[in-house]
Amino acid sequence: MRDTLRIPLEPWPTLAVVAGLALLPAVALAVGQPFYVVFATRVLIYALIATSLNLLIGYVGLVSFGHAAFVGAGAYTVAVLMMAGVGSAWLLWPAAIVVAALLALPIGAISLRTRGVYFIMITLAFAQMVYYLVVSLRVLGSDDGLTLGARPSLGVVALDRDTSFYYVALAILLAALLGMRALLNAPFGRALQGIRDNEIRMEAIGFPTYRLKLLAFVIAGAAAGLGGGLLASLNGLVGPNLLHWPESGVLMIMVILGGTGRLLGGVLGAAALLIAQEALAGQTIHWPLAIGVVLLAVVLFAPRGLSGLIRRGSAGP
Amino acid sequence: MPPTLIAEQLLNGLQLGLMLFLLAAGLTLVFGIMDMINLAHGSLYMVGAYLAAAVTEASGSFLLGIAGAIVGTALVGVALEVALLRRLYRRSHLSQVLATFAVILIANEIVRMIWGSQPILLNMPAALSGPLEVGGFRYPAYRLVVIGAGLAIALLLYLLVTRSRAGMWVRAGASDREMAEVMGVDTRTLFTLVFAIGAALCAVAGALLGPLLAVQVGMGENILILAFVVITIGGIGSIRGALVGALLVGLIDTAGRAFLPFLFRQMFPAVVAAEAGPAVASMLIYMLMAAVLFFRPTGLFPARG
């Protein structure tokens, strides 16, 4: 029997891409552009965050317009703990995950009472509340945000070295993608996709749909929190912009651009958007115009996003 | 707190609410009838404000500026609908979000190319620039005109939607599009018409608010979010909901910013009040929306049964 929902691993293309990514810092140093290592690290982190949002949008059908709140929660957790003297990433990053998950739990619990467009708007509402709360708190630096003195430490791995940080981010992203694949292939993930396609039927069969959706929402929030913690560690600063609604919007655009409901949709979307910005911003001050035209072209000619272009022949929703 | 201050803030809230209604009305109809999320609605507001400034500058007449903005923005809206949005009605909400987000980026850059990055000036008519005094109570004359114009247009629109035949088609389309089509409503033309009216209302709001706020690139995005809050509170597709939601948001936001810091100073220590007052004031409308959706998950006046 053909298993249509199962996401295959495809070891050879995967290994090729991972090998390519592993060589990237060496190439960047060889061509004398070490700056690109930090840029690539940022792309990897945004890929993680967009992937977490894709879990909600693409696999549960929950269009969250408040994902920046969880990114910000993770980032500010790392910043505050570092200012309090905690320097170990082994403590900081799990703390970012826990705080983001604890924030996602009540927000999800209330937001999941609504559906469709109303869900989009209520998640926005909560994210905006978190934003204004952070802006108003002087301990969190108000409008200016917080500046971290140094990068956290991670045992033997020196995160101060950009290349080391890159490999850590790459390892975390790969682990997250493997984890998400396992989750989606497991009964839990299949139930989520069932809810996306027909929630009432899933309810009728006896699935506790509300609890399953809430669990997915908390998992996605936690992963976004980890992404936020990584961003704070990488950049050495956090600001309220990280929590504001345009950030949530950009994350959503990344997911739609890459392809909703595809395992690599978030990765492709984040990479495409950030690389396009980086490449075009150097050429013209009117680079958003070019991005707009490209996005329009994707909507009109590639309805399934970029991942739909790459794997046109494969089965899937 | 003196009663004149309260009256002044209530009028400010009414003014904001009416302008939000002009934006939300088009948004909720497009959303309700065409099931289309149009993020570019805020861009039409920006285009309206810029056109009003340009025509006012060229002709020296603010009234001509508003008229030019209405005609020009309605044309831009129709062009947008025919060239692009029409292709998106049957697509998913997410495709619509991506496409209209692209339109925002493009519109912002085109405006930046024509008028530059700096905010441009749109002056109110000199005759209205002073305050009006009624029995010791002074209030800016221009803001009163904005309130009057907003009330008149809101009433006109309300009558158009609830009393006219075209309005009946619009409401029929909003509650059940396919049934309306079967009953002989030409939804294709209706959509274009609704879009043109929505764009014209954006232009009115942009032109009237232009002298009070800055006319600049990106002015549409923040007010777009407010307009979405309004139609969510009101119930998507409902013109009555948009009116109630707009007035609620306008009054609560204005009153919150004006009175909450004052209130908090009475209740809490100064340090707490200084931080909490403005924060809670900014959060109020989002708290309102979350509370409305908590108790009524499809808004106050859901258009679909």
- pLDDT tens by residue, B14-23: 999 999 999 9
Q: Which of A14-23, A150-159, B59-68 has the highest mean pLDDT?
A: B59-68
- What does the alpha-carbon distance between residue B181 and residue B6 come to, in Å, rounded to a whole number? 49
Higher pLDDT, B277 or A107: A107
Count of structural domains within chain B: 1
Token pair 């559906």: residue? A115
Looking at chain B, how many residues does it have?
Answer: 305
The stretch B159-186 carries a mean pLDDT of 82
Q: Is the pLDDT of residue A310 over 80?
A: no
Rg of chain B taking only CA atoms, in angstroms: 20
Hey, is the C-beta of A253 within 8 angstroms of any chain B C-beta?
yes
- What does the alpha-carbon distance between residue A197 and residue B74 come to, in Å, rounded to a whole number? 39
What is the percentage of chain A residues whose pLDDT exceeds 70? Answer: 97
pLDDT tens-digit readout, B63-106: 999 999 999 999 999 999 999 998 898 888 889 988 999 999 99
Identify the closest residue of chain B to A109 by CA–CA distance. Answer: B294
**Which among B282, B283, B290 is the nearest to A122, CB-wise?**
B290
Residue-level pLDDT at A1: 52
**Chain A partners within 8 Å of B95 (Cβ):** 256, 299, 303
Q: Is the pLDDT of residue A204 over 80?
A: yes
Q: Other CB atoms closer than 10 Å to residue B226's CB: what's the count?
A: 19
Beta-sheet strands, E only, within chain B: 131-134, 137-140
- What does the alpha-carbon distance between residue A104 and residue B268 come to, in Å, rounded to a whole number? 30
pLDDT tens-digit readout, A69-89: 999 999 999 999 999 988 899
Q: Is the pLDDT of residue A2 over 80?
A: no
Residue-level pLDDT at B90: 84
Nearest to A93, CA basis, from A225, A204, A269, A266: A225
**Chain B partners within 8 Å of A246 (Cβ):** 221
Hey, is the C-beta of B272 within 8 angstroms of any chain A C-beta?
no
- What does the alpha-carbon distance between residue A255 and residue A55 come to, in Å, rounded to a whole number? 10
**Terminal Cα-to-Cα distance of chain A (whole angstroms):** 18
**Chain B partners within 8 Å of A292 (Cβ):** 102-106, 109
CB B285 within 8 A of CB B223: no
Range name among A124-128, A298-302, B272-276 with the lowest pLDDT average:
B272-276
Nearest to B219, CA basis, from B23, B56, B88: B23
- What does the alpha-carbon distance between residue B274 and residue B279 come to, in Å, rounded to a whole number? 9
The stretch A268-291 carries a mean pLDDT of 90
Residue-level pLDDT at B304: 59
The mean of the pLDDT values for chain B is 89
Beta-sheet strands, E only, within A30-170: 146-147
Hey, is the C-beta of A132 within 8 angstroms of any chain B C-beta?
yes
**DSSP 8-state symbol, A214:** H
Residue-level pLDDT at A317: 42
pLDDT tens-digit readout, B246-270: 999 999 999 998 888 888 888 888 7
Q: Which of A52-56, A281-285, A286-290 has the highest mean pLDDT?
A: A52-56
Range name among A57-61, A300-304, B72-76 with the lowest pLDDT average:
A300-304
* B48 within domain boundaries: yes
Residue-level pLDDT at A42: 95
Residue-level pLDDT at A311: 61
Q: How confident is the model at residue A63 (pLDDT cuts 50, 70, 90)?
A: very high
* The pair of three-digit structure tokens given for residue A243, joined into one six-digit string: 């929590």
Does the beta-carbon distance from A121 to B112 stay under 8 Å? Answer: no
pLDDT tens-digit readout, B126-168: 888 888 887 778 888 899 999 999 999 989 988 888 888 888 8
Relative to beta strand B137-140, strand A146-147 is unpaired
Identify the closest residue of chain A to B278 by CA–CA distance. Answer: A136
The beta-carbon contacts of A7-16 under 8 Å, at least 24 apart in sequence, are A7/A181, A7/A184, A7/A185, A7/A263, A9/A181
* B271 within domain boundaries: no
The residue among A126, A132, A299 with the most chain B CBs within 10 A of its CB, best to mutate, is A299
Q: Is the pLDDT of residue A221 over 60?
A: yes
Residue-level pLDDT at A110: 93
- What does the alpha-carbon distance between residue B172 and residue B303 come to, in Å, rounded to a whole number? 10
Residue-level pLDDT at A316: 43
pLDDT tens-digit readout, B231-249: 999 998 888 899 999 999 9
The stretch A148-152 carries a mean pLDDT of 85
Residue type, A258: G
The parent domain of residue B200 ranges over 3-217
What is the percentage of chain B residues whose pLDDT exceeds 70? Answer: 99
CB B242 within 8 A of CB B24: yes
Hey, is the C-beta of B221 within 8 angstroms of any chain A C-beta?
yes
- What does the alpha-carbon distance between residue B301 and residue B171 come to, in Å, rounded to a whole number? 13
* B249 within domain boundaries: no
Residue-level pLDDT at A315: 42
Residue type, B153: I
Q: Other CB atoms closer than 10 Å to residue B172's CB: what's the count?
A: 18
Question: Is A260 in a helix, a strand, or coil?
Answer: coil
Identify the closest residue of chain A to B95 by CA–CA distance. Answer: A299
Beta-sheet strands, E only, within chain A: 146-147, 237-238
Beta-sheet strands, E only, within B105-258: 131-134, 137-140
- What does the alpha-carbon distance between residue A296 and residue B88 come to, in Å, rounded to a whole number? 11
Hey, is the C-beta of B183 within 8 angstroms of any chain A C-beta?
no
Nearest to A220, CA basis, from A91, A92, A58, A79: A58
**Which among A138, A260, A295 is the nearest to B102, CB-wise?**
A295
| DSSP per residue, B84-147 | TGGGGTTS-HHHHHHHHHHHHHHHHHHHHHHH-SS-B--PPPGGGSSEEEETTEEEEHHHHHHH
* The pair of three-digit structure tokens given for residue B110, joined into one six-digit string: 């085109």
Hey, is the C-beta of A210 within 8 angstroms of any chain B C-beta?
no
CA distances from A30 to A8, A195, A278, A282 (A): 35, 49, 20, 22
